[in-house]
Structure 1
Amino acid sequence: MEALEARVEALCEQGNALADLEDHAGALGRFEQALALLPEPQDSHPSTLWVCVAIGDMLFLLERYPEAREFLRRAVALPDGLGNPFIHLRLGQCAFELGDKRRAGDELARAFMGAGDEIFDGEDAKYLQFVRSILLPAQDA
């Protein structure tokens, strides 16, 4: 079991290094390999959450929104997934890009309320503007 954990960790480290180089497709491949190594039932394995988040993140960055949403939905359903601001951020961004503004507002609000403006640092400004328009609607004078 320790050898398996070491292999999963090594693949994730390689994936993170590739992601840092903006090789999102290469990183995705490493994260998918890591997920494939996890024993069944995968969702009871503690590493599944972060591997699914990493896969969802790479798929989002590759603009493969429906697939990203599926991995992020899986992640949010795992222990410690619900309430994680980053997972809610990516879920909201996927919903936004897929035209589901109601779901986008809900998920982006969860991210905003969990981590504030900082969670949107480095992201397209349209997401923060959208969530602010929901949470802080313009006041009539």
Structure 2
Amino acid sequence: MQLPDEIFTEVTKLCASADELVKLERLDEAKTNYIEALKLLPADRNEWEAATWIYVSIGDIHFKKESFDKCFKCFFNAVQCPTGLGNPYIHLRLGQMYFETENFDKAADELTRAYVGGGLDILLEDNPKYLDFLESRIKI
């Protein structure tokens, strides 16, 4: 399904603005824009692909702020949206979040999913501690 043009345009503007705010480390303002974009989606938000990336963006903000409970909720929602399940980046971030909260079995599972779906490169983009951890659990 495609969003109506007027909604798509407004969602795109809000998300682009939020992306710029993230680059400037103005995370709370960025989160506000992402939430406003999410609110513009029609009922049953989780049926729209745009919701996937908005939840990911909000989740990334919570990850940067080490608010792992909120991060989990966002990425859990993202997995429920179109193209969410099996998305290597979403599984990477879930794995990192589980690692940071010392839920190592789930961290290994999610990081493995990220590795299988995205290859070694996805694990090389972030802190090497996640790759080191995964190498202690599986043969890479």
- The normalised TM-score by structure 1 is 0.89
Question: Using the alignment, how far apart are the partners of 1:136 and 1:28 within structure 2?
Answer: 38
Structure 2 residue aligned with 1:113: 116
Structure 1 residue aligned with 2:78: 75
- Specify every segment of 5 or more residues in structure 2 that has no aligned partner in the other structure, as ranges: none
3-state SS, counterpart of residue 25 of structure 2: coil
Contact 1:59 1:68 in 2 (8 A): yes
Question: What do you get for the CA RMSD once the two structures are aligned?
Answer: 1.5
3-state SS, counterpart of residue 31 of structure 2: helix
Alignment of 1:54-133 (within 5 A): 54-133=57-136
Question: Using the alignment, how far apart are the partners of 1:125 and 1:102 within structure 2?
Answer: 18
Shift of 1:78: 1.7
Structure 2 residue aligned with 1:21: 24
Shift of 1:79: 2.1
Tell me the number of residue pairs that the alignment of Structure 1 and Structure 2 aligns: 137
The AA in structure 2 aligned to 1:99 is E
Shift of 1:24: 2.6
- In the alignment, which of 51, 54, 71 is matched to residue 54 of structure 2? 51
Shift of 1:109: 0.7
The AA in structure 1 aligned to 2:59 is G
Alignment of 1:3-14 (within 5 A): 3-14=6-17
Indicate the percent of aligned positions where both proteins have the same amino acid.
36
Shift of 1:122: 3.8
3-state SS, counterpart of residue 49 of structure 2: coil
Question: Using the alignment, how far apart are the partners of 1:68 and 1:35 within structure 2?
Answer: 16
Structure 1 residue aligned with 2:42: 39
- The normalised TM-score by structure 2 is 0.90
Runs of 4+ displaced beyond 3 Å? none
The AA in structure 2 aligned to 1:17 is E
The AA in structure 2 aligned to 1:46 is E
**Residue 84 and residue 61 in structure 1: after superposition, are their counterparts in 2 closer, same or farther (change >3 A)?**
same
Question: Using the alignment, how far apart are the partners of 1:109 and 1:124 within structure 2?
Answer: 16
- Specify every segment of 5 or more residues in structure 1 that has no aligned partner in the other structure, as ranges: none
